Structure 1
Amino acid sequence: MNDVQDILRNLSVAPGPDGPDVVAADVARGRQAVARRNRFRVGVAGAFAAVAVAAGAVSVGPFGGAAPPSTTAGQLTLVAYQGEQPVGFEVSTVPDGWRVVSSDASAFVVEPDTRGVLPSDAGGGLSLEGRISVSLQGLSHFPDESPIKKVDVNGQKGELGHPLEAEGKLSDTRWLFFTTSAGKSVNVQVPGEVGLSDEQVVDFAGGITVTGDAVEIGG
């Protein structure tokens, strides 16, 4: 009723006879105006709601721009490891469809069945190209150029970063350094082409146990 009274007060009515019929007509016009205004309010609210839904469908970055669509980084699934446990490093999971290439007191190395022989395998030694390895950290450390991501591995502090591929150029390989509850510093090396997300790398590391037989590479 307040809306009707407000509109009536603002109506411009030409001078003329007054009486019940005139007042009734004025009230009717006022109510029609209120109805039109309410329909306008509903229409505007609906438009804002549609904009809000559309905005929700596009992630907005911290600076107001549209954020790029998210993607699932991990393309592999970690499964329980069923093989013979390594000498130096026991593991609870491995990527599905991968096999053990090397297992001794200094390193545990796995590769996908589809890797095949690569040029880096020539010349002897064990190439880590396309392979995940677990070893003691030893003297390995991140270069100053590498960004560092802090992670948690079974309640212990860990760091994700990258080694150098060449002077001044970071490799797309990821290193995860973490210290076990027994005080052993471990290095998990994951090549860039391996489809594991950072979270999966941390999960994989969480299933690693360093045995008393583990030694540093070359030790």
Structure 2
Amino acid sequence: MAYTGEQPTGFTVDEVPEGWEVQGSDESAFMLAPKGIADQDPQSFVGKIGIVLQRRLPDVTTKKVTVNGQPALLATMAGNARPGTVFIKQPTGAYLAIQVWQTLNWGEKEIVRFAEGVHVGKDARPIVS
């Protein structure tokens, strides 16, 4: 569904799942969550979609994919049965990481399609890790 709300700090997003909203944002990350979710902590990823700009890739199993014509990596994170995070290298060398919680049951196609609508703005800064 086209997103018409206030854009997250440092980023823009074209679409969000129907009934979802930006739960919190700063210049390094933002969280999407279902409206009315009991867990209102914007630092918690459970049942949500987390978007983070980070300096480097974690050590995980990946598959090469393409997002907006750019090479990207689809990863299966520890504890997950299937891929749920995509990493897209940015011109600055940082990685845009989009983590989709497994209960959404999104496959590669849905994750990549969503990622194509997430954009890093000039004010975004990688998290300090």
Specify the TM-score bucket, using the shorter chain as the normaliser. Answer: 0.7 to 0.9
CA distance in 1, matches of 2:64, 2:128: 28
Specify the alignment match of 1:213 in structure 2: 123
Q: Could you say which residue in structure 2 is the equivalent of 1:92?
A: 14
Residues 137 and 162 (structure 1 numbering): CA distance in 2 closer, same or farther, change over 3 Å? farther
Which structure 1 residue ranges, 4+ long, deviate > 3 Å from structure 2? 180-184
Distance 2:91 2:66 in 1: 12
TM-aligned CA deviation for residue 197 of structure 1: 2.4
Q: Determine if contact 1:142/1:162 at 8 Å carries over to the other structure.
A: no
Query: Take 2:57 and 2:72, find their aligned partners in 1: how far apart are those partners?
Result: 14
Q: Choose 1 or 2 for highest CA Rg.
A: 1
Indicate the percent of aligned positions where both proteins have the same amino acid: 36
- The CA distance in 1 between the partners of 2:2 and 2:78, in whole Å, is 32
Task: Please list, as runs of the form range in 1=range in 2, the aligned pairs for 1:71-150 lying within 5 A after superposition.
Answer: 79-113=1-35, 115-117=37-39, 126-143=43-60, 146=61, 148-150=62-64
Q: How many pairs does the alignment contain?
A: 128
CA distance in structure 2 between the aligned counterparts of 1:160 and 1:80, rounded to whole angstroms? 24
Distance 1:97 1:195, change over 3 A: farther
CA deviation profile, 1:35-69 (whole Å, cap 9, x unmatched): xxxxxxxxxxxxxxxxxxxxxxxxxxxxxxxxxxx
> CA separation in 2, counterparts of 1:128 and 1:87?
18
Q: Distance in 2 between matches of 1:131 and 1:199?
A: 18
1:204 to 111, 114, 117: 114
Greater strand share, structure number:
2
Q: CA RMSD in A?
A: 2.3
Q: 1:22 matched to which residue of 2?
A: none
Please report how far the alpha carbon of residue 130 of structure 1 lies from its aligned counterpart in structure 2 after TM superposition: 0.9
**What is the TM-score when the length of structure 1 is the normalising length?**
0.52
Mapped to 2, the partners of 1:134 and 1:157 lie a distance apart of 18
TM-score, length basis structure 2 = 0.84
Secondary structure (helix, strand or coil) at the match of 1:80 reads coil
1:160-207: CA deviation from partner (whole Å, max 9, x where unpaired): 112223xxxxx2462101124675521001111123221111111111
Change in 2 beyond 3 A, CA 1:182/1:209 = farther
Extract unaligned runs of 5+ from structure 2: none
**More helix, by proportion:** 1
